[in-house]
């Protein structure tokens, strides 16, 4: 339950359209529900402005299905990340209304359309085409958060003119999520161009000494562009959630 639904329930009680016992029954399930393999946190949307997100890795398709069914029962939006193809197929057999983004490895459901966040678009910038899976996870998460976002793809520092050609878009953004593997230089370059928040996402893309993204992460952590926020390797979801905490909320 989010703040809007709780407000509607209270208005219905005040107007007499909903009895006290019915309201109590609905509120009784508000904090959390134990579905056996998980304790679904229905209170999170009230606390943080976004429903609980399901991390699919390590869960079976049946586990994911049970949690999603409980979220849908509560009329909550749904986002499942890191869903392997076989698990996604199983969940979609049971809940075909979910949207599957295979590249992002996400399943999602959005209920009634609410307004976008009151901010300029967020720019999701990735250095190379090999970083697209992380960029897509970022985009899917921003969409679930109702944050307007635009992609800028394949503008890494190996061809710096490609990035500088998008300078106007960078300067107009409310935040930039910069995604890069290899030596991880892209966020530093962007951080030197813009004043808005820059969230750096190291990816596991690169040859041997890239160390599965560790080299890019360390480069971003030691960037000379002051004030970068750095999330974990391949963590597009975490980058989007960082933006969620930074941007203004709808009243």
> Above 70 in pLDDT, residue 173?
yes
* Same domain (yes/no): 126, 232: yes
* Same domain (yes/no): 129, 242: yes
* Same domain (yes/no): 43, 131: no
Question: What's the total number of domains in the chain?
Answer: 3
Instruction: Select the more confidently predicted residue: 26 or 91.
Output: 91
Domain annotation covers residue 130: yes
Domain annotation covers residue 251: no
Torsion of CA 74, 80, 83, 89, to 10 degrees: 40
* Same domain (yes/no): 138, 214: yes
- What one-character-per-residue DSSP string does 221-245 give? HT-SSTT-EE--TT-HHHHHHHHHH
Per-residue pLDDT band at 117 (split at 50, 70, 90): confident
Give percent of the chain above pLDDT 70.
Answer: 87
Looking at the DSSP bridge assignments, the partners of residue 109 are 78
Domain annotation covers residue 87: yes
* pLDDT of the residue at 16: 73
Q: Give me the chain's average pLDDT, please.
A: 88
Domain that holds residue 199: 122-246
| CB contact set of 53 (below 8 Å; sequence gap of 6+) | 79, 80, 81, 141, 144, 237
Domain end: 109, 136, 162, which one?
109
pTM above 0.75, yes or no: yes
6: its two tokens: 């709780």
Contact 32, 76 (CB under 8 A): no
Distance (Å, rounded) from C-alpha 100 to C-alpha 128? 23
* Same domain (yes/no): 37, 104: yes
- pLDDT tens for residues 188-200? 999 999 999 999 9
Distance (Å, rounded) from C-alpha 188 to C-alpha 193? 9
* Same domain (yes/no): 19, 61: no
Per-residue pLDDT band at 118 (split at 50, 70, 90): confident
């Amino acid at each position: 339950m989010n703040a809007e639904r709780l407000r509607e329930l209270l208005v219905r009680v005040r107007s007499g359209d909903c009895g006290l016992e019915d309201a109590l029954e609905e509120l009784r399930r508000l904090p959390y529900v134990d579905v056996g393999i998980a304790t679904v946190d229905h209170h999170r949307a009230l606390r943080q402005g976004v429903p609980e997100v399901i991390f699919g890795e390590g869960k079976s398709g049946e586990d994911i299905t049970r949690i999603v069914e409980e979220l849908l029962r509560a009329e909550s939006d749904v986002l499942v990340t890191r869903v392997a193809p076989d698990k996604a197929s199983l969940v979609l057999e049971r809940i075909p209304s979910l949207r599957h983004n295979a590249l992002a490895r996400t399943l999602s459901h959005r209920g009634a359309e609410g307004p976008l966040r009151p901010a300029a678009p967020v720019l999701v910038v990735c250095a190379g085409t090999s970083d697209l899976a992380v960029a897509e996870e970022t985009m899917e998460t921003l969409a679930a958060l109702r944050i307007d976002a635009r992609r800028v793809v394949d503008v890494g520092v190996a061809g710096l003119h490609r990035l500088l050609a998008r300078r106007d878009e960078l300067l107009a953004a409310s935040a930039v999520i910069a995604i890069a593997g290899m030596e991880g230089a892209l966020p530093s370059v962007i951080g030197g161009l813009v004043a808005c928040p820059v969230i750096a996402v190291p990816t596991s893309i690169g040859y041997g000494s890239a160390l599965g993204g560790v080299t890019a992460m360390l480069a971003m952590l030691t960037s000379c562009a002051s004030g970068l926020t750095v999330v974990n390797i391949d963590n597009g979801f975490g980058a989007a959630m960082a933006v969620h905490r930074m941007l203004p909320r709808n009243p």
